[in-house]
Structure 1
Amino acid sequence: MAEIIREPFRPKPPRAEAAPDCAPGCRVPAATAATCAGEPHATEAVAYDGVLLLGFGGPEGQDDVIPFLRNVTAGRGIPDERLEEVAHHYRHFGGVSPINDQNRALKAALDAELARRGRDIPVYWGNRNWMPYVADALGDAHSAGHRRLLAIATSAYSSYSSCRQYREDLADAVAATGLAGEVEIDKVRQFFDHPGFVTPFVEGIRAGIDALAERGITDLAGEVEVLFSTHSIPDADADRSGPPERAFGAGGAYVAQHTAVAAQIMSQLGIDSSWQLVFQSRSGPPQVPWLEPDINDALRELPARGRRAVLIVPLGFVSDHMEVLWDLDTEALETAEELGLVAVRTATPGTHPAYVAGLVDLIEERLAGTPADERPHLTDLGPWYDVCRPGCCENKRLGFQPALAGIAP
């Protein structure tokens, strides 16, 4: 990979005050003709001429850590002293989050797979919380003459932070660049149950089982617990994830999607190990309820149940970024060691060929306008929506902010 030239810090662009005006008869701002009417799935072929790869972003040096965390917590009034409590995760790794290099690698892999399929569609990468920002990617795409763009967020599930906030990032980018009326932006569906996302986890667990066997653990049903781990979010936001009319109940679509995918993976593996969905990386005031159990609490219950080993599966994550390296590879593995548990953390998708091919499949289904009943999905919850439904994934604290790729609010 070419040497990365780091540019001086620039503040994150401001929030949009409003979404772009919809065209007459259109219910979705800045949308293509295929999605502007707001139907759940786009079945009209669209000649997209660029792809926006949306990332979370991360610091790339010790001096970046606090400015990055200020971006992440913007609007919450958190003093730098409290940010330093989180900063040590990054400082432990030299102030560098791996997420930017991972997205550079994913972009390169997508470029290569698109070229292999004869698709002349460039990929532009932009972040929510660090340079290059989403507005930078949009500006670069526009400067190169691209006007009809398809966005992919590097998150598979439905919630405020993993879906709607990326849609807000798109609205912010259009406002920051002044490109309202000059670009059309759609977004691919959430891909939690797409085979390309699921396959790397299945293969990772198989490899994890082999690793346990090498350490003397072979009784999967009697000795092994599989912990599917994902990012905790506030209960109130989880309950609001997904469209309200689906009435998922406690945990909303976020918990339902993870649970369905975990069950599908265990079914594919055909093993009898006990498993559960656990959560990690919670933040915020302790009086606010977040999804539980925390992975470390779940680990502490295993010895009393006769478990000797654990497979930790980072089901909520697409790559080995900081929440995986610190919260799982550092804290959770330390907890397991203290408890005398044999622990193996399985792989994330990263640039696994099936994952990269799956993301390009998602692009191609929109290029072709593939009908919903012909789209691959491995659970009864999918295929998820191309156009987010009204009231989807509200943030309780902020309410509904301007967003693209969905029907207001």
Structure 2
Amino acid sequence: MSVQTPFRALSRRAPAVQCLHPRSQRWQHQRSMVTVVPPVTQDSTSSKGPTAMVFMNMGGPSTTDEVGNFLSRLFADGDLIPLGPLQSYLGPLISRRRTPKIIKQYADIGGGSPIRKWSEYQAEEMCKILDKTNPETAPHKPYVAFRYADPLTEEMYAKLLEDGFGKGKGGRAVAFTQYPQYSCSTTGSSLNELWKWRQRMESPSRNPSLTPAEAEGSIQWSVIDRWPTHPGLVNAFAENIEAKLQTYPEEVRDKVVLLYSAHSLPMSVVNRGDPYPAEVAATVWAVQQRLGFRNPYRLCWQSQVGPSAWLGAQTSDTVKNLVQKGQKDLVLVPIAFTSDHIETLFEIDQEVIHEANELGAEGRVRRAESLNGSPTFIKGLADLASAHLKSGELCSKQMGLRCPACKNEKCLQSKKFFSGQDKPDNEAFIM
């Protein structure tokens, strides 16, 4: 099946055999005997609803008590922090050593990360808009799936089943990445995790307790896997930058340097062909274009961990070097984050800006607000989701293309599933 095959082709109710995606020979033999239960419907005005809108993100500990588990999961993920064959040994060791320091950092920003609060708010507000703009797929039900913190992917999936999706009832779910720029370390890792739990909970080859009807009436997934230059995202960033520039005297306003800061990647990930650096740069260019290129700018990278080579220049070094050269008017823009979390509230606000002031910046190094509850941003999310729901597409065309040097079998299988390419005769698309 082509990646452009409309989603509606996957969810027709008749004839029943057109809905089938058997994963084993046993189910191919049985499928003619299976009666597919119609998709869950909770609104008589909705012909295709309800629709689960699942926001995927890294997440963060909501309290300091959750920091240890958060770090354990984070350093265990070779997609995000590749530590080689010693991952199972080095990951727990690094996480234990870093836990006391990170607990203090979360305490300094109020006792926990606000990312869950903002993610749930954004998802709920977006769904309210979608219920009005896309009544045919209503009601739109918001869910959050974090990679390293509660609610974890498996918790979200269990909630979907509990709410009436899957288990023979069908239904549609959209995995909506909240990393606007795609990386195998972020969106890729989250989709790998989602695929893993989908297999465990809804695949007959992994879950033999499923009845034939439950296996055939599984959740139908599609993916919004990247959106680096979407107008809603670009306009929301531009509005926050313009608001911060207004805090500078008019005579220096156009001379303020904009420093776009994104989470860095290990060079080992970059060199295998990860698209993230190019997509972050695309976002920066689009925002600068929206601003009319009135200010000089640079793209820099933050949050390097460990001694290995990471993508640079580092944000902290860039600010330090500019201030020491006399360029004190700087606005930091968290260009790869859709809400506040420790990288903005602690790393930028309490480390980078504090160090700049110690070097004599005199309070002239500032940060643009994060997107958080921006109405422009939330409307942009709704516009993007609305277009996706109406398009019938499973994912972007880029989704099926692996990194040129990728050797991750889990990534291969995940891409096959979400791009609809998990039939033997379609394997050639996954490069």
TM-score by length of 2: 0.72
| 1:52 match | 54
C-alpha deviation, 1:191, in angstroms = 1.1
| Partner Cα distance (1:70, 1:171) in 2 | 21
Q: Specify the code of the residue in structure 1 equivalent to 2:379.
A: A
| Partner Cα distance (2:99, 2:404) in 1 | 26
- 1:320 aligns with one of 340, 344, 348: 340
Counterparts of residues 262-341 of structure 1 (less than 5 Å): 262-283=284-305, 285-286=306-307, 288-341=308-361
C-alpha deviation, 1:208, in angstroms = 1.1
Counterpart secondary structure, 2:251? coil
Per-residue CA deviation, residues 204-235 of structure 1 (Å, 9 max, x unaligned), is: 1111110122xxx63245x4211000001111
| 2:223 match | 187
Counterparts of residues 379-394 of structure 1 (less than 5 Å): 385=396, 388-392=399-403
C-alpha deviation, 1:370, in angstroms = 7.1
Q: How many percent identity over aligned positions?
A: 23
Counterpart secondary structure, 2:92? coil
- 1:135 aligns with one of 154, 164, 178: 154
Counterparts of residues 193-272 of structure 1 (less than 5 Å): 193-213=229-249, 218-221=251-254, 223-241=255-273, 252-272=274-294
Q: Specify the code of the residue in structure 2 equivalent to 1:160.
A: C
| 2:194 match | 170
Is the 1:226–1:276 Cα contact (8 Å) retained in structure 2? Answer: yes
| Partner Cα distance (1:210, 1:137) in 2 | 41
| Partner Cα distance (2:389, 2:289) in 1 | 32
Counterpart secondary structure, 1:301? helix
Is the 1:237–1:395 Cα contact (8 Å) retained in structure 2? Answer: no
Is the 1:193–1:261 Cα contact (8 Å) retained in structure 2? Answer: yes
Per-residue CA deviation, residues 64-112 of structure 1 (Å, 9 max, x unaligned), is: 1112211212245332124334333223335411111111211221232
| Partner Cα distance (2:75, 2:148) in 1 | 9
C-alpha deviation, 1:267, in angstroms = 2.2
Is the 2:188–2:411 Cα contact (8 Å) retained in structure 1? Answer: no
- 1:405 aligns with one of 418, 424, 427: 418
Larger CA deviation: 298-307 vs 333-342: 298-307
| 1:114 match | 130
Per-residue CA deviation, residues 322-354 of structure 1 (Å, 9 max, x unaligned), is: 111111111111122122221120022222222
Q: Stretches of 4+ moved more than 6 A in 1?
A: 45-48, 393-399
Is the 2:187–2:225 Cα contact (8 Å) retained in structure 1? Answer: no
Q: Specify the code of the residue in structure 1 equivalent to 2:401.
A: P
Q: Specify the code of the residue in structure 2 equivalent to 1:110.
A: M
Whose RCO is larger (CA < 8 A, sep 6+)?
A: 1
C-alpha deviation, 1:264, in angstroms = 2.2
C-alpha deviation, 1:402, in angstroms = 4.2
C-alpha deviation, 1:190, in angstroms = 0.6
Is the 2:232–2:379 Cα contact (8 Å) retained in structure 1? Answer: yes
| Partner Cα distance (1:47, 1:298) in 2 | 49
C-alpha deviation, 1:305, in angstroms = 4.3
Counterpart secondary structure, 1:302? helix
C-alpha deviation, 1:27, in angstroms = 7.7
C-alpha deviation, 1:141, in angstroms = 1.9
| Partner Cα distance (2:404, 2:48) in 1 | 26
Is the 2:236–2:371 Cα contact (8 Å) retained in structure 1? Answer: yes
Per-residue CA deviation, residues 227-251 of structure 1 (Å, 9 max, x unaligned), is: 000001111212345xxxxxxxxxx
- 1:158 aligns with one of 146, 158, 182: 182
Per-residue CA deviation, residues 160-185 of structure 1 (Å, 9 max, x unaligned), is: 12221121121122134345642221
Is the 2:179–2:338 Cα contact (8 Å) retained in structure 1? Answer: yes
| Partner Cα distance (1:133, 1:110) in 2 | 21
Counterparts of residues 30-45 of structure 1 (less than 5 Å): 33=9
Is the 1:233–1:291 Cα contact (8 Å) retained in structure 2? Answer: yes
1:229–1:78 Cα change, 3 Å: same
Is the 1:48–1:367 Cα contact (8 Å) retained in structure 2? Answer: no
1:27–1:254 Cα change, 3 Å: closer
Larger CA deviation: 105-114 vs 201-210: 105-114
Return 5+ residue gaps in structure 2 as ranges: 12-18, 20-46, 77-87, 166-170, 205-214, 422-429
| Partner Cα distance (2:102, 2:238) in 1 | 32
Is the 1:72–1:129 Cα contact (8 Å) retained in structure 2? Answer: yes
Q: Specify the code of the residue in structure 1 equivalent to 2:418.
A: A
Counterpart secondary structure, 1:164? helix
| Partner Cα distance (1:230, 1:396) in 2 | 26
TM-score by length of 1: 0.76
Larger CA deviation: 88-97 vs 53-62: 88-97
C-alpha deviation, 1:277, in angstroms = 0.3
1:129–1:401 Cα change, 3 Å: farther
| Partner Cα distance (1:99, 1:302) in 2 | 31
| Partner Cα distance (1:78, 1:66) in 2 | 10
C-alpha deviation, 1:393, in angstroms = 8.5
C-alpha deviation, 1:158, in angstroms = 1.5
1:400–1:125 Cα change, 3 Å: closer
Is the 2:54–2:175 Cα contact (8 Å) retained in structure 1? Answer: yes
Residues matched between the structures, number: 348
Higher helix residue share: 2
